Every structure is written in structure tokens, then in C-alpha cells.
Structure 1
Amino acid sequence: MAAMSAVLTEPSAGPAVTRDQALRAPKVLLHDHLDGGLRPATIVELAAEIGHELPETDAEALGRWFTTMADSGSLPQYLETFDHTVAVMQTAAALTRVARECVEDLAADGVVYAEVRYAPEQHVANDLTLDEVVAAVQEGFEEGMAASRARGQGITVRQLLTAMRHQARSREIAELSIAWRDRGVAGFDIAGAEAGYPPTRHLDAFEYLQRENSHFTIHAGEAFGLPSIWEAIQWCGADRLGHGVRIIDDITVTDSGEVELGRLAAYVRDMRIPLEMCPASNVQTGAAASIAEHPIGLLTRLRFRVTVNTDNRLMSGTSMTSEFTHLAEAFGYTVRDLEWFTVNAMKSAFLPFDERLALITDVIKPAYAALAAEG
């Protein structure tokens, strides 16, 4: 395979970001799962209401259980955690509450724009329709945004509707996303096990979305390698890559320190295809050995369109503040580096251009300028 040499940029000069600065910095989140971010106390309360048995009934102990199971290195144990969150999200009232609390938690973490994804088809066990699921989540988002604004925390949140790649409802969910696109839904996603379930199984849904001039992202290049990324982009037309961490497999660093990009990696970089990177989650699932060894360091120096995300805040015991802080500790990132990640994410959001530009110009850049002035 032909390769092309690439130039590494030097990290920004200046002091590494502190946790306090990371908290105060405006953040943009593109990859966050609604069913992976519940408050442990809320799970306990909702489970008690419906008689669902939990492994722990104390909220603090339950929170520890989630992160321990997710850290186990066992995919079945990791997936078992979602059995409990999804189980308590089967009524309109529960969905609205979880969605409202999600927005409030993100706002408290300094997030100014977020796209939160979930699979409507996983929330119909108690006979809610898909439409009722989306309506309940949207009600919660609206309540959360209003409550946050009242506290002086401006945040905009949009839904991404996810179809499960091992199921056969992707076209139906794609149509649902179009039905709701002017009412809070920003785009579409597919998720689930990559191996054995290539995105091309859902070409009908992606072609439909393209005809409707809609946006979509695809989970690709997390547990599975370059073929998954290639199909997501070149067959399905993904606007963004969910994770995309395995693009590193198409990048070679020689013994002399020279960097060579394969054709696919070069295409992803040239076309500015956003990578929705989730460092803490990738360490849990084994996609990276540690934060310090995460490909985000090299991809950032190569100036791919890198964005930083949380994936599942409950399972990873993480937040955008934590992600930024740990990256700063590992790579010495400065306020200007965090600004670069944030502007990358805002540029890549499935929000109309004027709204993206306004957030960058009026909110993000002034706040980072103030942080940088602190020295």
C-alpha cells in the first residue's frame, strides 16, 4: 500500500491545563450515550419503582459496581451494565427524568453544546412507541436546558437517534430521525458490535438519509479495524467516525521517527472527517493501553480532526472535565490545545452553520482567551 510522509506539529507552548481550568473551559461533546450516563441514585430510585433487581441498592456502591464491571476487560460484563440502565428507562416519565438530569450534569461540567445518542428501539419494552420515546427524551432535554439557563449555564443539547447494527430497524430509525429533525434530533447513528455486523448491512438507511440531506455518524474503528472505517466512509458516506481510534493501524512511525500515512488515513485527514475519540472508554475496552499511549496523542500532532468525548460517563466514571484533565496530564496540553479540540468539535457538530459559528465566536473563543490570559 502506498504511503505518504506526514509532518508532526509541536505541542502548544505554555503550562499544562489544571483541572479547575478544564472545568471552567467551555466544552463540546459529540459522542455521549444517554443510557451510559445515568446518576446511580436515579437508577436506584427507578429500579425500586418497577421492582428491578440491582447488584447494589446503595447509590455509591452501585456507581462503583458500574465502573468495576466496565473495567473488567470482559465485554459480556461491560454489556451487562447496560441491562440495568436500559431496564429503568422504559416509561416516558423515566426517560424524561434521565434526559433532564443528563443535560443538567453536562451543563454543570461546563459543556455548552452536546449531541446525546441512544437507541429508541431499546426503550419500547413497556409498549411505548418509537415516537413516544423520542418525545419523552426531548421533553427532558427541554426541561434540562431551561433549568440550566436559569442557573446561568447556557447549554444546547440535541438528540442523535441510534440504530443497533445487529438488528434490522435501521431504516425505521432513520425515518424517525427525519421526522424529528426540526424538533430536537440532529442526526442518526448506528452502534453495537462491529465484528460480523458491517455498516453496509444498513446501506438502505444511509442512502435514505443522504437523499434527505441529513447527517449521520457511524460507530467504526473502535473494536474492529480499518475495514470498518473504510466501509463507514466509502460505502456508507458517514459524516463522522464514532471512535475511529483504529485509523492508527494505517499510520506507520519509522525507527527514525518519520511518520507515514496509508491511503485511508490520508483520506480521513485530508477530508477533515471528524474522529469522535473517547479516551477513557477506549482504555476500558482495550482499544488503548493507557491514556498516555492513546493514539489521540499522535493523531493530534498529525492534525486529524480530533474531538474529545465521554462515551459512557457512568461506566467510565468520567466527564469532559476528567477527559481534558487526563489528556493534559498525559500530553502536557495547554488551554490552546483544549480550545483546538473544542473548536474541532463545534465545527463538526450536526447543527446549522450559523449556530455553530455563533457558539465559536460568542462563547468558545472569548472564554478560552480569558483562560489563556491567566498564564
Structure 2
Amino acid sequence: MIRILLVDDQTLLCEVLKTWLEVEEDFQVIGVAHNGNEALSKIEMLQPDIVLMDIDMPEMDGLNATQIISERFPEVKVIFLSGHDEDDYLGKSLRAGAKGYLLKNTTAEELADKVRYVYHNSSNVALSVDQEMVAGIQTQLEELMETYRHKFQKQLEGSHQSETVVAEYDAKFKRLEVFLLRKQEESLQRIRQETRSTWDSIHKEISNTNTQFNSANRSLSSQVNQQIVNLKKDIDVELNKALEDWSRQRAALQEWAVQRDEMQVSAEDFQSKYRRELMSTINPFRASFRDIDRQIATMRNWLIGSILLAAMSLTFSSWLLASNFVSGNTTDSQIQNQ
């Protein structure tokens, strides 16, 4: 699994790159940084295998960050993903320690191939070893010259020879220095010859990269134009669908409004008709009830009159009985008195 750290100040581009890389089964995006300082902190914490680095960033640019990464984390390989297509930036990136250079208009397939190539390639490692060898030889020669210089100075201090002896030693020292410089130049020339094949491969890769840049640029432009055309067609289709839906909904609302108005008129007519029919049914009952009320009132008056008449008849009969009874008693008293 190749562990990848993305370093770019454009958040949207980081999301696009992350989407591209996570499609590959052997890739894992372990983090995102937005400037050089943040990249150094995350490299120390996450230990990625590959760093995809932008050049132009705030606080610390990609070139300075790559130089520090090459010194502090030599096992981490940096690939520049930049918008600069000038050869000058390519040279700066290689001198800073980058192992690859891509333009931002590259395709996802080219990006994946470059990451795998840099991860598995060892030519750049051999080049760094050769450079370390040159630096080591130069350091050894300088130390050797310094050692002879100190020995010579001690011999001069320990002996009180004449100026002729001093001059002789000085001449010997100069010859030794020339000899050492010649040996150093021979060693450097031999190392350059041994690494010439590596430089040729680097120049070849640069040429291939430029070719890929041009083809990728043309391919990307064609893809973008095609996507714009397809997007325009999709937008037109969706807009037409939306307009048709809106027209249907509007017609349905208008139809519903007409039906509502018709239903409102029908409801008023039904209510009026129902009221008339109800009144035509209730009115005969009301008239009958009024007749019954009049009949009840008449019967009540007749009943009251009958009761009064019966009471009067009863009173008169009682009076007659009482009168007859009194008159009978009076007659009996008169007969007894006689």
C-alpha cells in the first residue's frame, strides 16, 4: 500500500486528487496539508511514502519544503504537481530533491502511473548515492589537506631551519595540494561518467514528461469541452422537464379552481333548494299544529263553560232542596201546633 500525503493550498483540488487516488486499490491518502510548514509536521507524524506537492503556497512554498524534506526525511519521495510548465521550475524542483514533476492538468491515469513509477524507481536513489559519494570524497580530500597543513606547521614550529628549508617544505606542500586536487578532479570525472547514464534517463524522462504534458493538455481541453457540451444538454433537458411539470401543475391548479367555483355555486343552489323543500314539508305540519291549537283552545273553552254550567246547576239544585226542606219543616211545626 502506497501512503500518500497531499500538499496544496487549494482545498477543492485536494478533494479532487483524493477522489482520483482512492480509486486505486494500492493507494491510501493519509492526510492533507495546505502549506510547507503543515506538510513538514504531517510528514513527521504520518511518515508517508509519497508527497504530492504544489509549488506556490503561503508561509512556505513547495521548493523550500522539498529541500527540507530531502534533508530530514530522505526516505520520503516528493512529486511536484504544479501549474508551471516552464523548464526552469522543473530544474528547480529536481535540484530541491523532487523525484517527479507533473502539471495540474494531468489525467488521473497519468498521476497514478507517476506515483507508482517514483515509488518503485531506484535511479534517483542511485543519483543521490553518487552525490553523497562525491561529497564524501571531497570532504576526505579537504581533511587530508588540512592534516598535512597541520603537520607542516608543527614541523616548522619544532625546528628552527633556515628559510631555504621552509621554502622547500612549502614547495612540497604545494605539489601535494596540486596532486590531491588532480586526484579529486579525476574522481569527480569518473563519477560523472558513471552517472551520465542516470542523467540521460532523467533528460529522457523530462522529454517524455513534456510530451505527456502537451498530450494531456490537449486531451483535457477536449474532455472539458465535451463535458461542457454534455452539461449544457443535460441542463436544457432538465429545464424543459421542469417547465413541462410547471405547466401541468398550473393547468391542474386552474382546473381545480374552476371545479371549486362550480362546486361552490352548486352547493349554494342545493342549499337553497333543500331549504325550500324543507319549508314545503314543514309548513303543512305547522298549519296542522295551529289548527290543533285552535281546536284545543275551543275544547278548553267549552269544557270550562260546561263545568261552570254544571256547577250552577248543582248549586241551583242544592238551593231548591234546601228551600223545600225548610218549607217542609215549617209546615210540620204549624200542624203540630194546631
TM superposition score normalised by structure 1: 0.23
Going by fraction, where is helix more abundant, 1 or 2?
A: 2
Higher RCO, 1 vs 2 (CA within 8 Å, ≥6 residues apart):
1
Bigger CA radius of gyration: 2
